[in-house]
Structure 1
Amino acid sequence: MPLIVSFLSQKGGVGKSTLARALAAVSSTGHLRVKLADLDVQQQTAVRWGKARKQRVSALPIEIGAFRSFEDALEDSDAFDLIIVDTPGHTSAATGTVARASHVVVVPTSATIDDLYPTVLLLHALEEIGISRNRLAIALCRVLEPGEEKTARDYVDAAGYELLPGFIPERATYRSAQNRGQALTEAVDAADDDPTNLLIEGLLRKIAAQSAAGKRKG
């Protein structure tokens, strides 16, 4: 069975699809067979990005599709090493199903209390249905200035959840890159200490740790 990483949120516009696409792009460079499953059949953000990406000769291939259900997205799961699930920008009856099947559940949020509060509520709800905290992580996105990071980290620490290192700054270059079918990790040659690189590296470590834990249990 492939690794499954899902991106969930209580609301749209917090960086969920941005992170899902970045993880797909980075993972494809490691010669993994990657599938990006877009469960928002109305918006189809990932699918539209994938069409733009196909026009870029240098872009590594990523299997991208829109699916009406999580079960449909898993039909050919044996053909992939990693399935990334980009869910709609709201919770639904399917949220629990996706989370239970996922090795890692990522909940992106901005640094505002308006987004942090429902993020923590969502994590509480996931724990209540049996999702362990070691499978959960918050990713900080759309940060306007570094000072916002401390406020967010203090809030998440008080709630007792894991906030991945780094963050995604709000940059026009990122928006332009995604319009061209690039992931934000492909937008610029960033330094090793760039907050975006730190976030993606932290997410990869989280996934690797959960993969190893799953193999030990197996």
Structure 2
Amino acid sequence: MPLIVSFVSQKGGVGKSTLARALAAVGATGKLKVKLADLDVQQQTSVRWGKARKQRGNASPINVGAFRSFEEALVNSDAFDLIIVDTPGHTSPTTGTVARASNVVVVPTSATIDDLYPTVLLLRALEEIGISQNRLAVALCRVLEASEERVARNYIAAAGYELLPGFIPERASYRNAQNRGQALTETVDGAANESADVLIESLLRKIAEQSAVMQNGNGD
């Protein structure tokens, strides 16, 4: 069975699709068969990125598609090693369905209180439906300066959760790369890449831990 990693948020603009595409690119570079399922059929942010990537021709291949339901996204799932689910930028009954089926649920947030507050609400809601903390990965994105990282980590810690090590800085180079069908992991941006690499590596460790749990047949 493939690993399923979902990216969920209470609102848009927090880096959800950016992280989903980065993980997809890393997986594909590692020779995994990757499906990136875009459940936002109206915006299709990841689908447009996938088309731009395909036009480049020299990037690691990723199967990217738009799906009206999670069940539709899982069709032919055995053909893939990793299925990444990019959900719409809001919660719905589908959010719970996706989360329950996922080995890891990634909840991105920016460093603003306007985003941190709904992120904590979402984390608590996921726990209420049976998603344990060891399956949750809270990721910090769109950081402008170091002081924002400290504020965000303290806020999340006070709520009883923990941010993954590292963060995604706000960079024009990242936005430009994604317009070309690249992931942030496929750019060269000095110190910015260092903090982003730390976050991606910590997410990969989280996924590996949950993969081991799945292989051993252990529950939460």
Say yes or no: TM over 0.5.
yes
Matched, 1:37 2:76: no
Matched, 1:80 2:80: yes
Displacement of 1:162: 2.5
Number of paired residues? 218
Which aligned pairs between 1:31-70 and structure 2 lie closer than 5 A?
31-70=31-70
Question: What residue in structure 2 maps to residue 188 of structure 1?
Answer: 188
Matched, 1:154 2:150: no
Residues in 2 aligned to 1:158 and 1:98: alpha-carbon distance in whole angstroms: 27
Displacement of 1:190: 4.4
Is residue 166–residue 199 contact of structure 1 (8 Å, CA) maintained in 2? yes
Gaps of 5+ in 2: none
What's the C-alpha RMSD, in Å, of the aligned pairs? 1.3
Residues in 2 aligned to 1:30 and 1:63: alpha-carbon distance in whole angstroms: 15
Displacement of 1:88: 0.1
Residues in 1 aligned to 2:146 and 2:56: alpha-carbon distance in whole angstroms: 33
Residues in 2 aligned to 1:53 and 1:157: alpha-carbon distance in whole angstroms: 37
Q: Which amino acid aligns with 1:52?
A: A
Which aligned pairs between 1:133-172 and structure 2 lie closer than 5 A?
133-172=133-172
Q: Which amino acid aligns with 2:138?
A: I
Q: TM-score, normalised by structure 2?
A: 0.96
Is residue 190–residue 197 contact of structure 1 (8 Å, CA) maintained in 2? no
Q: TM-score, normalised by structure 1?
A: 0.97
Displacement of 1:57: 2.5
SS at 1:32's partner residue? coil
SS at 1:65's partner residue? strand
Gaps of 5+ in 1: none
Residues in 2 aligned to 1:147 and 1:27: alpha-carbon distance in whole angstroms: 31
Is residue 39–residue 70 contact of structure 1 (8 Å, CA) maintained in 2? yes
